[in-house]
Amino acid sequence: MTASPRLASRVKLKDAHLVTRMADIAEGLPDVIKLGRGDPDLDTPAHIVAAGQEALGKGATHYTHPLGIPALRQAIADNIRAHGGADYAPDQIVVTPGGQQAMFVIALGLLNPGDEILVPCPGYNPYHQAAELAEATTVHIRTSMATNFCLTAEMVEAAITPKSKVLVLINPNNPTGTVTPPEEIRRIAEVARKHDLIVISDEIYARLTYGNHQVQPVAALPGMAERTITLSGLSKAYAMTGWRVGYFAGPPDLIPALAEINHAFAISTAAVSQHAALAALTGPQDCVEEMRQTYDARRRQLLAGLDALGIPYAEPQGAFYVYANVASTGIGATAFCERLLREGRVLMYPGGIYGDYTDDFVRMSLTTHRIPEAMARMKTVVDAIRREAA
């Protein structure tokens, strides 16, 4: 065979192989505590599961409207508005099989080869991959722990060139948990307007914030609805990762073309999942608050454990991750993760997977109740590494 696998060679999955590698190692070990993937251990609330079951019984086994069932798109619009977001009509919303697919649909719809897309770094890695598939150039805007990995308007402006077309905001950020303060979002929006950028605002973790931190929806700001695509989904706030329901919402001049691409990819999102999502958004919301409180309690446990070990971290203000700096172990974050897995049977990922430009950080998910045990195991491994170095 002479043909080369075009897509595989085009997308440079920097460090992404580490996820598979760590999974392979974990597979061969007993009783691994997983602080790896961003997949809640908490179950989808029972009333949402029941709505899915009922929908199946009533024949929700077909394709739906390509943009998503109208009642769900109305519920999404209402939900966005209720949380201070923009005023979207249901036909400005496209339901997708997860927010993940939305990233690729949007990138392929907006970016021409050679266009520049500005992406915070570290930041959720599929944005880089989506940009590469569109043959666009990813411009990494590097944030650092000195500013709690916060993106600023100055950083964005400094990265702009005549080729800049799209700016990605991930708020709260994965992997760092940083919530960009509302006043900074306003300043970044001003830069986007000044330089005529389209903003993809990933607000999938917006319901999961801690302390006084709150997300300012970008599209609700003056002059932003016409240049912002809001991306979100139900995976995180409602513990619905396996149902695969996400969405994007945007201006009327962009949505039809993007909806076309989504239709070409998926035809429509699974009907049963859309009915469950409708129940999630229109039913009681205390389940979201209960889950948020659970993650918050785990976050405190994990931070106390890191404090005791003298391992610094970025303040996690949202999402369900802790981004910790393990440079003091002296072996690099990638080697540290592998050692922790083999010797401590605790799985976490090095920051390189999220485009980190150092090998200093690890991302720890709060998606297990076994945090105290994980921290005890981590202490044993960290102590051993430090003894060796002494």
Q: Of 51 and 170, which CB lies nearer to ligand PLP in the complex structure?
A: 170
Exactly one of 100, 282, 285, 294 binds ligand PLP (CB under 6 A); which one? 100
Interface residue with ligand PLP, options 170, 197, 239, 348 (CB under 6 A): 170
Can you tell me whether residue 385 is helix, strand or coil?
helix
Residues 242-261 close enough to bind ligand PLP by CB under 6 A: 246
User: Are 275 and 243 in contact, with CB atoms under 8 Å apart?
Assistant: no
Burial (0-12, 13-18, 19+ Cβ within 10 Å), 31 = exposed
Q: CA 170 to CA 38: how far, in whole Å?
A: 15
Contacts of residue 378, Cβ cutoff 8 Å, sequence gap at least 6 = 305, 309, 340, 344, 346
Shortest separation between residue 254's beta carbon and ligand PLP, angstroms: 19
- Rounded CA separation 147/143 (Å): 7
Pseudo-torsion of CA 299, 302, 304, 309, nearest 10°?
Answer: -150
Query: Residue 318, interface with ligand PLP (CB under 6 A)?
Result: no
The secondary element (H helix, E strand) that includes residue 202 is strand 198-202
Contact set for ligand PLP, span 265-294 (CB under 6 A): none
Binding part of the chain for ligand PLP, among 27-35, 48-56, 97-105, 363-371 by CB under 6 A, reads: 97-105
Q: In the complex, which residue's CB is closest to ligand PLP?
A: 98
The pair of three-digit structure tokens given for residue 202, joined into one six-digit string = 């990933």
Token readout for 153 is 């308007």
**Closest to ligand PLP by CB, 174 or 329:** 174
User: Is the separation of the CB atoms in 131 and 145 below 8 Å?
Assistant: no
Q: Which residue lies nearer to ligand PLP by CB, 128 or 377?
A: 128
Q: Does 178 bind ligand PLP (CB under 6 A)?
A: no
- Residue 202 binds to ligand PLP (criterion: CB under 6 A): yes
Q: What are phi and psi of 232, to 5 degrees?
A: -160, -170
Report the residue number, 124 or 361, with the smaller CB distance to ligand PLP.
124
- For position 352 contacting ligand PLP by CB under 6 A, the verdict is no
Which of residues 233, 344, 350, 355 is near ligand PLP by CB under 6 A? 233
Q: Is 16 in the site for ligand PLP (CB under 6 A)?
A: no
Number of chain positions touching ligand PLP (CB under 6 A):
13
- Of 238, 249, 197, 189, the closest CA to residue 216 belongs to 189
Task: State residue 231 phi and psi, 5-degree precision.
Answer: -120, 135
Residue among 36, 99, 305, 352 that touches ligand PLP (CB under 6 A): 99
Give 116's strand partners.
137, 164
The pair of structure tokens assigned to 316 is 């996690």
Residue 174 or 368: the one with the smaller Cβ distance to ligand PLP is 174
Q: Is 129 helix (H, G, I), strand (E, B) or coil?
A: helix
Q: Using the rule CB under 6 A, is 241 a contact of ligand PLP?
A: yes
Q: Is 204 in the site for ligand PLP (CB under 6 A)?
A: yes
Q: How far is the CB of 384 from ligand PLP (least distance, A)?
A: 32
The region of 57-65, 92-100, 143-151, 262-270 touching ligand PLP under the rule CB under 6 A is 92-100
Q: Contact positions toward ligand PLP, by CB under 6 A?
A: 38, 98-100, 124, 170, 174, 202, 204, 233, 235, 241, 246
